[in-house]
Amino acid sequence: MLVPKRILNGVIKAAATDTTRYQLCGIHLSRNGRARAQATDGKVLIRAEWDEDDWEQFPDMGTCPKPEDDFSVIIPSEQVKRLAKSVPKSSKPILENIAINELPSASVIQVGRTDLECSSNEKIPIVDAKFPDLDSMLGTMGPVEAEFTVDPVRMIQLMEAIIASSGETKRTWKGVVHAKVHGKGRPISFEHSTKGQTTTALVMPMVVKSK
């Protein structure tokens, strides 16, 4: 499996830090039709799926199985972060990938990366556990009543504004924000109350023009 560095950096943000739930302390990589990376701490889920059309362009290091091969493994968070940092920026996007393949052993996998001048191949430990069936969880969410397209940069700005207005920082923040959907085409509101103060932020759905 070829895993882009950008996907590791994004998905790992949802991984659990509570080591008593060790099966959630990492990224679950799998392939069933498409490559998939997902992580959850039980409250937040991030999942990325991508096509591996260019897998044959990656230098042959004996680590990349054909996309039709089934694949499922959990890589610990500390290994994910280390691997992502070890992949340098490249003018060739194909080189900003990590090639991962299962070995017969249930405790390690083989990982390869290269910038053409320097290559590395190593075995890293994996989590010996079964990842939760998130497809079943997502299937119980019920029908979609309204869909919105929002600007993620604006969403981040809104959350940072709410945190700042409470006198906290992202490191010290321990509060919660209540989100409300007010109907199709109407604002989405986020509200936080603390110490006699209520902060409300609104974001309007984006209008996406069809091509």
- Binning pLDDT at 50, 70 and 90, where does residue 210 land? very low
> Which residues sit opposite 20 in a β-bridge?
none
pLDDT in tens, 13-22: 999 999 999 9
Looking at per-residue confidence, does 53 or 199 come out higher? Answer: 199
The CA distance from 11 to 182, in Å, is 29
pLDDT in tens, 46-87: 999 998 877 778 777 666 666 767 788 999 999 999 999 988
Closest Cα partner for 163 from 133, 137, 197?
197
Residue numbers of the domain that contains 51: 2-138
In this prediction, what percent of the chain has a pLDDT beyond 90?
26
Residue written as token pair 């390690």: 108
Residue written as token pair 């070995």: 103
Specify the number of domains making up the chain.
Answer: 2
Q: In angstroms, what CA-CA distances link 93 with 86, 118, 120, 151?
A: 15, 16, 18, 26
| Residue ending a domain, choose from 116, 138, 160 | 138
| Residue ending a domain, choose from 96, 114, 138 | 138
What mean pLDDT is predicted for residues 196-205?
Answer: 83
Mean of per-residue pLDDT scores for the chain: 83
What's the full length of the chain, in residues?
211
What's the CATH code of the domain at 97? Answer: 3.10.150.10
pLDDT in tens, 156-192: 888 898 889 888 888 888 888 998 887 777 778 889 9
Classify residue 65: in a domain, yes or no: yes
Q: Is 45 in the same domain as 11?
A: yes
Q: Is 160 in the same domain as 197?
A: yes
Q: Is 34 in the same domain as 130?
A: yes
End-to-end CA separation in angstroms for the chain: 34
Q: Is 18 in the same domain as 42?
A: yes
Classify residue 210: in a domain, yes or no: no
Looking at per-residue confidence, does 110 or 207 come out higher? Answer: 110
Q: Is 118 in the same domain as 30?
A: yes
Q: Is the pTM of this model over 0.85?
A: no
Side-chain-side CA neighbours of 109 within 13 Å: the count stands at 25
